[in-house]
Structure 1
Amino acid sequence: MLKYPDTDHQPFPILIGDIGGTNARFSILIDTYAEPKEFPILRTADFAGIEDAIQQGVLDKTSIQPRSAILAVAGPIHSKEIPLTNCHWVLRPADMCASLGLEDIVVINDFEAQALAVASMSDENREEIGSVGKVPVASRVVLGPGTGLGVAGLVHVQRRWIPVSGEGGHVDLGPRSERDFSVFPHIERIEGRVSAEQVLCGRGIVNLYRAVCKADGVKPALSDPADVTAAGLGGNDAVAVETLSLFATYLGRVAGDMALAFMARGGVYLAGGITQKILPVLKQPEFRAAFEDKAPHSALMRTIPTFAVTHPQAALAGLAAYARTPTNFGVATEGRRWRG
C-alpha cells in the first residue's frame, strides 16, 4: 500500500535545528505566523551531544518550552540511533523526547532542509550567477560545498514540493581538459576513486591546491582552506588563484550533472559558506561555461538558472516553512518521526 507523508502539524512551539558537521543552529517557532526566535550558532565540538547543546544553548536562554522539534542532520537516518557523518554526536530521538520534554520529533537530512528553503526563496536571499530570465515554478537542485558536499533535489509535482535527499556529493569526478589530466593524478583518492566531495568542499580546496602544486613542481605554501581561499581571492598566489578557478569549473560540471538528473528547470542553488566566500569567482565565466557544456543538451542548460543562496540561515528558514504549512511539502516522515 502506498504510504503518504505525514502532514499533520506538530504542536507549537516548535524547536528547529540545523546540525552540520561543524556547527549547530537552532531557533524556536512559537506559532504559524511568528518569526522564529534565533539563538547563537553553536560549535558541535564544544558539546558532548545534542541534548547538552539544546539545553545549554537554547533552553537555558529562554523561558519558551518547545513541545516538538524538527531537526535537520548531516547524516543518513536509518535507525533509532542517528550518527552524524562528520561529527561525534549520535541522535536518539526517543530519548530526546523524554529528556527534553518533547511530544514530537521529526528528523530529516540537512540538505532536505536546504531544498525546502529554495521552494519559495525571495530575490533578496539569492544572487543569480549568469542570467537566463524568468525562473519557472519547477523542480530544483541544491548543492552545498562545506564540510562535505551536500546535494538534494526538490521535485515539484501536483502543486507540492517534494525534497529528495541522497549522497550526490559522492559521484565520480573525472578529468576532461588537458590541464585536468595533469592535475588529477595528484588528487588524493578514496579507494582508488576521486569523488566530487574529494575536491568540492573545505578540505577539497586544500586537496586541489596540493595537486596543482605537484603538477607544477611547486612546494605548497598553504595548508588551510581559508588561507587558500583568501590567497586566491586576493590574487597574490598564482596556484591559489588557479585552484579557485578549477574549483568553480568542477562545481559547474557537477551542478550541471545534477540539473540534468532532476531536470531542474527551476534552477540550481549553491548553498553553504564556501559558496558565499568565493562568489566573485563563481560569477566569472568558468562556472557557467562548465555548467552549460553538456552536449547534446547545451541549449537546455542555457535555460536553467543558477543561484548562490545568500540567506544566512537558509536551512532554518526551510524547516520553518515546512513547520508552518506541512501540507505544501511532501516530506517523508515514515521512520523519521518519534512521538513522546
Structure 2
Amino acid sequence: MILAADVGGTNARLAIYSADGEKLIRRETYPSHTHKSFEEVARAFLAAGGEKPLAACVGVAGPVVDGRVEATNVPWILDERIIAQALDIPKVSLINDLVALSLGALHARPEDLVLLHGSSLPRTQGANLAVIAAGTGLGEASLVWDGQKHVVCATEGGHVDFAPRNELEIDLLRYLIKRVKRRVSYERILSGPGIGNVYDFFREAKAIPEDEVVEAAIASSADRNATITKLGISGESTAAARALKLFISLYGAEAGNLVLKSLAVGGVFVMGKIAVNLSAQLGPKGFVDSFLDKGRMRQLLEKTPIALVPDSTIGLSGSARHAAASLSGLRT
C-alpha cells in the first residue's frame, strides 16, 4: 500500500492507495492549522486504518530542497528522513504540491475536465503544459515535454512581482504596497486572502459603500474571503462583485503569462477551490479575454487550450502515482 498526502495552508488530505497508485482505498481530510506537524496528522490517519504503507509521497505548498521543505502557508517543517523514521515507512518522497497536481491532471479522465477555451482539451503528449492553482496561496508549475514524456517542474511563480496593466491595477498596487509594507506579488491578489485584499481596495481606496447587513455578515463570517466571494457572485455587494471581476481578470492574465514563460502551447490546467467556486464566471469575458490579451503573442494564446480541473483530490492521485513510481524504481 501507498500513503499519499496533499498538504495545503487550509487542509491536509491523506489517502491510502494500492501499490500501483491506481486504486483509492481510504481518504480523510484534516484542518492543517489544528495540528502541530504532518507527522501528527499522519499518525492519526494511519492509526485509524491500521495500514503499514511501504511508500509515501507528500505534496506540499513550498519549495522542496534536498528532501526538506518549510511549508509556505502552514507552520510545518517536513523532512523525508524524519517522516520515514517517525512513521516507519521505508520510502518517503516530498514534492511540491503543484507537482502533485500536475501529475494528477496528466492522468485525469477527459470527462472530468471542463474546457474553458479552445477547441480541444490540453494535449497530454507532444508539447509543454502549464498548471495554475489559486487557493490559500498561488501555485504554478510547468510540464516540459522531453520528447517522450512530461517532466514536471516546480516553481514559486506565484511569488513573482505583480505587474499592473492599467490605471485601476496601478491604484491596486499602490494600495497593497501601503497595506503590506513590502513588495507585492501575484499571490497577494490571486489567493483566498487576495480576494479579501481586492475587496478592501474597492471599499477603502475606491470608497464603494457597503450595506450594513452585508458588512455585518462579512465581519462575523468564519471565512471572510469565502463570504466575499459568495456576495460577489450573487451581486448582493457591489464592492465584492467589483473585486471578483478584477480578480478573475488578473487570474486570466497570469495564466497567460505562465504560458508565455514556459511556452506551454499544449494547454493550461486551472485548479484549486477558488476556480471551482468561480467556474461559472471563468468564461470568454474576463478570464479568457485577459488570457489572450498579450499583444503580438495573442495568436499563440488563441491556439492554447484551457481546462478546469474540478476534482479537489487530484493532488492525492498525483502523489500516489509518484510514490508508486518510486516504489517500483521508475521515474514518474
Mapping for residues 260-299 of structure 1, pairs under 5 Å: 260-299=260-299
Gaps of 5+ in 2: none
Gaps of 5+ in 1: 1-12, 332-340
Report SS of the residue matched to 2:63.
coil
Distance in 2 between residues matched to 1:103 and 1:192, nearest whole Å: 43
Distance in 1 between residues matched to 2:164 and 2:245, nearest whole Å: 15
Structure 1 residue 51, shift from structure 2 partner: 1.4
- 1:98–1:175 Cα change, 3 Å: closer
1:279-308 CA-partner distances (Å, limit 9, x unpaired)? 111125111110001111101100101111
Distance in 2 between residues matched to 1:80 and 1:329, nearest whole Å: 18
Q: 1:95 aligns with which of 68, 82, 93?
A: 82
Q: How many residues align?
A: 318
When the two chains are superposed, the root-mean-square deviation of aligned CA atoms in Å is: 2.2
Equivalence for 1:179: 168
1:21-69 CA-partner distances (Å, limit 9, x unpaired)? 121111112222751223220112222211111111x211213211221
Equivalence for 2:101: 114
8 Å Cα contact 2:21/2:320 also seen in 1 = no
8 Å Cα contact 1:244/1:281 also seen in 2 = no
1:167-187 CA-partner distances (Å, limit 9, x unpaired)? 100122222224334443223
Report SS of the residue matched to 1:218.
coil
Distance in 2 between residues matched to 1:150 and 1:296, nearest whole Å: 27
Tell me whether 228-237 or 44-53 shows the greater mean CA deviation: 44-53
Aligned residue type for 1:41? T
Tell me whether 194-203 or 184-193 shows the greater mean CA deviation: 184-193
Equivalence for 1:131: 118
Report SS of the residue matched to 2:73.
coil
- 1:170–1:80 Cα change, 3 Å: closer
- 1:183–1:34 Cα change, 3 Å: closer
Equivalence for 1:46: 34
1:316-337 CA-partner distances (Å, limit 9, x unpaired)? 1112233445699856xxxxxx
Report SS of the residue matched to 1:162.
strand
TM-score (norm 1): 0.87
8 Å Cα contact 2:161/2:183 also seen in 1 = yes
8 Å Cα contact 1:160/1:328 also seen in 2 = no
Q: 2:9 aligns with which of 6, 21, 24?
A: 21
Structure 1 residue 190, shift from structure 2 partner: 4.7
Report SS of the residue matched to 1:41.
strand
Percent identical: 28
Distance in 2 between residues matched to 1:181 and 1:82, nearest whole Å: 34
8 Å Cα contact 1:172/1:194 also seen in 2 = yes
Aligned residue type for 1:156? W
Distance in 2 between residues matched to 1:229 and 1:157, nearest whole Å: 40
Residue 143 (str. 1) matches residue 120 (str. 2): no
Report SS of the residue matched to 2:294.
coil
Q: 2:158 aligns with which of 150, 154, 169?
A: 169
Q: 2:196 aligns with which of 183, 188, 206?
A: 206
Equivalence for 2:254: 254
1:172-207 CA-partner distances (Å, limit 9, x unpaired)? 222222433444322355554321101000110010
Structure 1 residue 117, shift from structure 2 partner: 1.5
Report SS of the residue matched to 1:261.
helix
Q: 1:75 aligns with which of 46, 62, 71?
A: 62
Distance in 1 between residues matched to 2:170 and 2:21, nearest whole Å: 54
Distance in 2 between residues matched to 1:230 and 1:312, nearest whole Å: 19
Equivalence for 1:338: none
TM-score (norm 2): 0.89
- 1:216–1:113 Cα change, 3 Å: same
Distance in 2 between residues matched to 1:152 and 1:244, nearest whole Å: 24
